[in-house]
């Protein structure tokens, strides 16, 4: 194990540069060119090492990728995974988008999830350099995770599951919280509400029906149902009206709904249906559309058994065992776990301000994560 960890340390600076490079290629989910550039950068590194590369072509989202080391070995593989897409529009982080400051590096998606990709590749490279031939090791790169794979109509998720179906474990490399691993996540439904009222001149506004006023009532009604430990409703965007002196005929808003179980999802969907049908201003109408869906990651026996194996490895090698954690955020681990593949989440890098302009990674956590991932692959 010391030889493996020494190799990670020797390669650390190379993979700090690797992370800076892939974060400098801005890749919001809707920007296929950027996502594919990130994928090609990583594939080129893998080609030089002689690893197998498979690509699932996509028309709208970036291409999904599976890189396999030791493809010739007839043993159950282990899979590492991360997503290449980010949330912010190109240019928001300035030029250059990546900045170093002491023990931190700032940049778009640097924790969520490009830091995890860098750590996983570093782990594979260290195993490769140490001559590891125990089993195949896969790196599965998702391309539209941040939009719940809506742009690929979930085909990227089904591809990931197909590539991981025989794996002894699927380790998703979302951001890491010291000493914790995620075994439970909330599911997410995103709905579009389209409210229609009746236009009128502002001077005789009482003769119209304000779609904005109706939408506001519906939003406030949804807010009443949110529970810290249960279902949550969040109205994230709203648009309506044309000019100030006209009663608005149209108003649209989107709602992010999170739930811990499929039963809670059914309850939330029923609430959406009831509020959509209810007219607070008589005469207004509303149409709802499900924009995207992600299943919850519920506590599963096979996931807990995988965690138990990993903790046995860590304790034997004088490493901190991992505690079970729950998250309100969504990830690919939820979908992969639903396929029955043993799965754990949040084994990437440490940092903060995820999805914010100040997102950062602690530089030393790249090697720390690579050591955890590499010893799991080596010993499991």
Q: Give the pLDDT score at 137.
A: 98
Distance CA 64, CA 139 (A): 11
For residue 205, the enclosing domain spans 187-294
Domain count for the chain, please give it: 2
Last residue in a domain, options 294, 316, 348: 294
Q: Are 113 and 204 in contact (CB under 8 A)?
A: no
pTM over 0.75: yes
Q: Give the pLDDT score at 228.
A: 81
Asked whether residue 88 falls in the same domain as residue 141, the answer is yes
Q: Give the pLDDT score at 79.
A: 98
Q: Cα–Cα distances in Å, from 350 out to 27, 106, 229?
A: 21, 12, 25
Distance CA 142, CA 112 (A): 12
CATH code, domain with 94? 3.40.630.10
Last residue in a domain, options 277, 294, 311: 294
* Residues in contact with 292: Cβ distance below 8 Å, sequence separation at least 6, in sequence order: 147, 148, 149, 150, 188, 189, 190
| Cis upstream peptide for 113 (omega within 30°) | yes
Asked whether residue 49 falls in the same domain as residue 122, the answer is yes
Asked whether residue 36 falls in the same domain as residue 125, the answer is yes
Asked whether residue 104 falls in the same domain as residue 212, the answer is no
Asked whether residue 222 falls in the same domain as residue 168, the answer is no
Q: Cα–Cα distances in Å, from 366 out to 12, 122, 350?
A: 8, 8, 8
Rounded to the nearest 10 degrees, the angle between the axes of helix 365-379 and helix 2-24 is: 130
| Residue 379, both tokens | 């010993």
Three-class SS string for 103-147?
A: CEEECCCCCCCHHHHHHHHHHHHHHHHCCCCCCCEEEEEECCHHH
Asked whether residue 78 falls in the same domain as residue 170, the answer is yes
Radius of gyration of the chain measured on its C-alpha atoms = 23
Q: Give the pLDDT score at 68.
A: 98
Q: Residue 93: left (phi > 0), alpha (psi -120 to 50), or beta?
A: alpha
CATH code, domain with 259? 3.30.70.360
Asked whether residue 169 falls in the same domain as residue 195, the answer is no
Q: Give the pLDDT score at 174.
A: 98
Helices (H), the chain: 2-24, 32-48, 114-129, 155-164, 211-223, 262-277, 301-316, 332-338, 365-379
Asked whether residue 256 falls in the same domain as residue 235, the answer is yes
Q: Give the pLDDT score at 229.
A: 81
Q: 223 φ, ψ to 5°?
A: -60, -30
Asked whether residue 180 falls in the same domain as residue 328, the answer is yes
**Residue 192 burial (C-beta neighbours within 10 Å; 0-12, 13-18, 19+):** middle
Q: Give the pLDDT score at 380.
A: 96
Last residue in a domain, options 266, 294, 322: 294
Asked whether residue 142 falls in the same domain as residue 67, the answer is yes
pLDDT in tens, the chain (380 residues): 899 999 999 999 999 999 999 999 999 999 999 999 999 999 999 999 999 999 999 999 999 999 999 999 999 999 999 999 999 999 999 999 999 999 999 999 999 999 999 999 999 999 999 999 999 999 999 999 999 999 999 999 999 999 999 999 999 999 999 999 999 999 999 999 999 999 999 999 999 999 999 999 999 999 999 888 889 999 999 999 999 999 999 999 999 999 999 999 999 999 999 999 999 999 999 999 999 999 999 999 999 999 999 999 999 999 999 999 999 988 999 999 999 999 999 999 999 999 999 999 999 999 999 999 999 999 99
Place of tokens 């979908």: 335
Asked whether residue 162 falls in the same domain as residue 209, the answer is no
Q: Give the pLDDT score at 254.
A: 98
Distance CA 86, CA 89 (A): 9
Q: Cα–Cα distances in Å, from 220 out to 38, 211, 282, 329?
A: 41, 14, 17, 23
Distance CA 74, CA 72 (A): 6
Distance CA 8, CA 369 (A): 10
Q: 369 φ, ψ to 5°?
A: -65, -45
Asked whether residue 239 falls in the same domain as residue 220, the answer is yes
Q: Residue 283: left (phi > 0), alpha (psi -120 to 50), or beta?
A: left
């Amino acid at each position: 194990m010391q030889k493996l960890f020494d190799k990670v340390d020797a390669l650390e600076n190379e993979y700090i540069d690797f992370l800076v490079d892939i974060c400098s290629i801005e890749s919001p989910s809707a920007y296929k060119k950027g996502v594919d550039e990130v994928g090609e950068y990583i594939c080129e590194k893998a080609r030089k090492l002689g690893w197998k590369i498979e690509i699932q072509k996509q028309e709208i989202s970036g291409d999904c990728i599976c890189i396999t080391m030791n493809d010739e070995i007839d043993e159950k593989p282990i899979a590492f995974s991360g997503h290449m897409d980010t949330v912010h529009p190109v240019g928001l982080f300035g030029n250059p988008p990546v900045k170093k400051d002491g023990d931190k590096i700032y940049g778009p998606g640097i924790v969520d999830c490009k830091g995890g990709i860098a750590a996983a590749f570093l782990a594979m490279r260290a195993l490769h350099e140490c001559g590891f031939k125990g089993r195949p090791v896969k790196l599965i790169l998702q391309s539209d995770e941040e939009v719940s794979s809506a742009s690929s109509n979930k085909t990227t998720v089904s591809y990931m599951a197909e590539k991981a179906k025989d794996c002894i474990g699927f380790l998703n490399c979302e951001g890491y919280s010291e000493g914790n691993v995620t075994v439970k996540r909330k599911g997410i439904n995103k709905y579009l509400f389209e409210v229609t009222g009746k236009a009128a001149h502002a001077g005789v506004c009482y003769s119209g029906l304000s779609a904005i006023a109706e939408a506001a009532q519906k939003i406030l009604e949804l807010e009443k149902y949110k529970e810290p430990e249960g279902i949550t409703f969040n109205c994230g965007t709203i648009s309506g009206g044309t000019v100030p002196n006209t009663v608005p005929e149209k108003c649209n808003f989107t709602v992010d709904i999170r739930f811990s179980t499929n039963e809670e999802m059914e309850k939330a969907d029923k609430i959406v249906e009831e509020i959509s049908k209810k007219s607070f201003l008589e005469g207004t109408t509303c149409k709802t559309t499900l924009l995207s869906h992600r299943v919850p990651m519920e506590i599963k026996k096979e996931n807990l058994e995988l965690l138990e194996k990993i903790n046995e490895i860590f304790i034997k090698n004088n490493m901190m065992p991992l505690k079970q954690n729950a998250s309100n955020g969504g990830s690919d681990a939820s979908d992969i776990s639903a396929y029955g593949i043993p799965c754990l989440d949040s084994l990437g890098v440490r940092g903060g301000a995820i999805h914010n302009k100040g997102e950062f990674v602690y530089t030393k956590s790249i090697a720390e994560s690579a050591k955890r991932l590499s010893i799991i692959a080596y010993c499991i």
